[in-house]
Amino acid sequence: MKTPINEIHNPAEQTDEVLSLRPDSSSKNLVSKRYGWLSRLRSYLIFDPLIWLITIVLGIVSIPVSLLGEKGRILHAFARFWSQLIMKIICSPTTVTGLEKIDTSKAHVYAVNHASALDIPVLYVYLPFQFRIAFKKELLAYPIVGCI
């Protein structure tokens, strides 16, 4: 008789990559050689404050608007819009492969390794369906996150 622990599928053994979201590698070397401290300065003085501003404004607006209707659908739309703005602001080329392999009739778990700050915006922009994010309960101690 098999125990449940023996029946757990190990995703590390899976050889078929279903979905791959990564920056376009062909432009990576070109950008790193052409830009240096000016690129960093642009990020700190323009991109970062702009992303913070968009995050704060959309976060403040989304809370009362979510009370007007279907909370999950409305908040997902705000998150998708927020992500689209971020991707347009930073002008980061992204290549998506394998979307056609996703069976949308079944539930899936997408594990994000947070290799960059763009994991969440990329998922919201490129996954063509609604999804929910699971997080650890300690994040509820933050003032705004705990209210939602």
Q: pTM for the full model?
A: 0.67
Instruction: Report pLDDT digits (tens) over 18-61.
Output: 555 555 555 555 455 566 888 888 888 999 999 999 999 998 99
Helical segments of 1-136, H only = 25-34, 37-42, 48-66, 71-90, 119-126
Helices 71-90, 119-126: axis angle to 10 degrees equals: 110
What is the rounded distance in angstroms from the CA atom of residue 140 to the CA atom of residue 148? Answer: 9
Instruction: Report pLDDT digits (tens) over 115-130.
Output: 788 888 988 998 888 8
What is the rounded distance in angstroms from the CA atom of residue 131 to the CA atom of residue 111? Answer: 12
> At 97, phi and psi to the nearest 5?
-130, 145
